[in-house]
Amino acid sequence: MTLELKAVNSGYGQTQIIRDVSMSCRDESITVVVGPNGAGKTTTLKTVNGLIGAWSGSIVFQGEDVTRLRAFERVERGMASCPEGRRLFPRLTTEANLRLGAYSKRARKSVEETLEDVYGLFPRLRERAGVAAGRLSGGEQQMVGIGRALMAKPSLVVLDEPSLGLSPKLVGEIFEKTQELRKRGLSVLLVEQNAFQALQIADYAYVMQEGKVVNEGPPSKLMDQEELKKAYFSIE
């Protein structure tokens, strides 16, 4: 098991956002978390990657309890994230942004090799290597965000809303690349508003509402439940 959350509670200040969240991400799999806005999905990811602390419960990554580790320590152990909105450095070039992802000790030894792997996954980024990130299209920026995470040599990639603001064509391309990550032996934990498309590539999925996991299972099980379709996917 790559990642396991056990009864995790967390929030901001004195405001609790997620309650007793338990979920797991298996090796070489895509795990998707869906649900309406305000369900606690992003807070869950921030707790996983250490940007906010867990109030209680535990987070186990590759057999090690990382609940109290800081964010950079989790990166060193093989966890990398692409946050919502990408958060690139707009004045730096595409390649400079990518190289910044290789700051951990585990990544520094093979920067050039990893960079070639990223360019192999996203050939467009090689063409745009010298262009400032702020001048890239939304789709290209998302590729840089994912590529920067891959530069950390992770075994788990955490993606928060990778399709946000992209055209349908680019959304399809991003999801294809996400599947390629699984083929390369990585585990992916994905939060996504585009629930239908995300469930189509998932191996397992969780549904969150009001800070809790309210359902889980293989995508086929969730897609077949009419009440879930109405509640989360706006289908009458």
pLDDT per residue over 167-188, tens digit each?
Answer: 888 888 899 999 999 999 999 9
Least reliable range by pLDDT among 81-90, 121-130, 132-141, 155-164 = 81-90
Do 40 and 21 touch, CB atoms closer than 8 A?
Answer: yes
Tokens 């950079």 correspond to: 72
Return the SS3 of 47. helix
Look at residues 180, 176, 205 and name the one whose alpha carbon lies nearest to residue 190.
Answer: 205
Given a cut of 80, is residue 226 above it in pLDDT?
no
Return the SS3 of 151. coil
CA dist 100 and 87 (Å) reads: 12
Query: Is the pTM above the cut of 0.85?
Result: yes
The pLDDT of 199-209, averaged and rounded, is 94
Is domain 1-78+155-163+187-236 in CATH 3.60.15.10, yes or no? Answer: no
Given a cut of 90, is residue 73 above it in pLDDT?
yes
- 236 confidence band (pLDDT: 50, 70, 90): very low
Residue ranges per structural domain of the chain? 1-78+155-163+187-236
